[in-house]
């Protein structure tokens, strides 16, 4: 067995990852991951957890196609996690991924194995997502709660970005992806639920879409994202579900909705100038919400009148469940979004 540090060329990172310290890259967003091949009968990883909540935190790993879950200590000291033991002789594959959103960040430091090699995987597309807790995969593993409110006091134990429609769509399309989603996120600052409950601190997409470290209360603070690092083929916007807080009647106010649409267009058009050839898809999810938001997004897309910006309404958008979509409901969205993207790629 040998130790292979994070700066080894065998490791491939996906998602908005802080690579400023090549020996301690920091995984930030849900679904961010590091992939590699290895040999040996066992595999362990050394990480540094950066906790931002009193709730438990976990990371995930997919080893030879089988998914695993590992609970982390909440202190910031380095910790070694045994990922697999008793493996057969030969070459194995591993993807270590971030299951949760702003519960924590973590630094990937090293793995212990007999050897490591690059996977050498080739992708057909590049995707980017901007969304809230549904897109982040929160509470997906509460599998007996389809169509129901979330179980009480779950404290993140059912969160798993791997089962989000975002990650699932990427798998179905053999796509690389950045999932820039966060629970409670709305479009505008001082709305939604992210970094609440005080209205003064509520943080919206307008303050996170261009960030690498996006959590205002993170120990490392916030930092700017270098857009030259990643240019997607498709950008999926899933915003408009948390925006009714703190004023659910604002959506019926013409002046407010015009302000809301103007900011949405501003962000989208800024990304269009950065990405040039990307196509944009405007959606919400099957989580129940005021249907007026759907009509506002219809209006917004029509006003843009841009063939590179299209609107997809899931079959049960805004109607399916009072709680976060579970694995089956996430898969429903993933199937519809995958079919829609395939249709667009053929045009």
DSSP-assigned states of every residue in 52-91: -SSS-EEEEEEETTEEEEEEE-SSSSEEEEEEE-SPPSSE
The domain 2-117 is placed in CATH, from the list 2.60.40.10, 3.40.50.150, 3.20.20.105, 2.60.120.260, at 2.60.120.260
Contact at 8 Å (CB) between 19 and 56? no
Q: Are strands 279-283 and 234-238 parallel, antiparallel or unpaired?
A: parallel
176: phi then psi, degrees, rounded to nearest 5: -75, 150
Q: What is the pLDDT of residue 130?
A: 98
Query: At a CB cut-off of 8 Å and minimum separation 6, what does 113 contact?
Result: 1, 2, 4, 38, 39, 40, 42, 43
Structure tokens at 131: 């969304």
Closest CA to 211 of 225, 229, 221: 225
Q: What is the pLDDT of residue 75?
A: 77
Q: What is the pLDDT of residue 117?
A: 98
Residue ranges of the chain whose pLDDT lies below 70? none
- The domains of the chain are located at 2-117, 125-345
CA 70/CA 2 separation, integer angstroms? 22
Closest CA to 138 of 16, 205, 55: 55
Beta strands in the chain (DSSP E): 2-5, 12-14, 17-18, 26-27, 33-39, 43-51, 57-63, 66-72, 78-84, 91-98, 104-113, 115-117, 125-131, 175-181, 234-238, 279-283, 309-311
Q: How distant is the alpha carbon of residue 300 from its chain centre?
A: 24
261: phi then psi, degrees, rounded to nearest 5: -65, -40
CA 48/CA 29 separation, integer angstroms? 16
Q: Any idea which architecture 125-345 has in CATH?
A: 3-Layer(aba) Sandwich (3.40)
Contact at 8 Å (CB) between 141 and 160? yes
CA 198/CA 202 separation, integer angstroms? 7
Sign of torsion over alpha carbons 95, 101, 103, 105: positive
Residue 41 DSSP SS3: coil
């Amino acid at each position: 067995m040998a130790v292979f540090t994070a700066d080894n060329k065998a490791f491939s990172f996906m998602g908005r990852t802080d690579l400023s310290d090549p020996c301690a890259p920091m995984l930030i967003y849900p679904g961010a991951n590091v992939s590699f091949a290895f040999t040996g009968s066992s595999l362990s990883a050394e990480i540094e957890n950066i906790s931002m909540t009193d709730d438990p935190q976990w990371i995930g790993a997919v080893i030879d196609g089988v998914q695993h879950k590992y609970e982390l200590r909440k202190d910031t000291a380095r910790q070694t996690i045994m990922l697999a033991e008793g493996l057969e002789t030969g070459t194995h594959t591993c993807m270590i991924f971030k299951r949760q959103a702003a519960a924590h960040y973590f630094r990937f430091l090293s793995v212990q194995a007999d050897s490591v090699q690059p996977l050498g995987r080739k992708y057909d597309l590049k995707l980017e997502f901007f969304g809230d807790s549904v897109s982040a995969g929160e509470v997906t593993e509460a599998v007996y709660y389809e169509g129901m409110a979330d179980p009480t006091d779950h404290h993140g134990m059912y969160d798993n970005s791997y089962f989000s429609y975002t990650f699932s769509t990427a798998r179905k399309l053999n796509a690389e992806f950045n999932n820039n989603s966060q629970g409670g996120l709305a479009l505008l600052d001082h709305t939604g639920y992210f970094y609440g409950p005080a209205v003064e601190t509520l943080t919206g997409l307008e303050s996170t879409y261009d960030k690498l470290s996006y959590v205002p209360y993170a120990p490392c603070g916030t930092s700017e994202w270098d857009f030259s690092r990643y240019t997607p083929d498709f950008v999926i916007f899933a915003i408009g579900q948390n925006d009714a807080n703190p004023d659910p009647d604002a959506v019926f106010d013409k002046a407010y909705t015009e302000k809301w649409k103007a900011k949405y267009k501003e962000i989208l058009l800024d990304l269009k100038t950065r990405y040039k050839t990307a196509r944009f898809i405007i959606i919400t999810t099957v989580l129940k919400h005021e249907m007026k938001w759907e009509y506002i997004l219809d209006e917004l897309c029509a006003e843009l009148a841009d063939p590179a910006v299209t609107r997809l309404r899931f079959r049960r958008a805004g109607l399916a469940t009072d709680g976060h979509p579970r694995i089956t409901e996430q898969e429903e969205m993933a199937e519809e979004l995958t079919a829609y993207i395939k249709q667009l790629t053929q045009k």
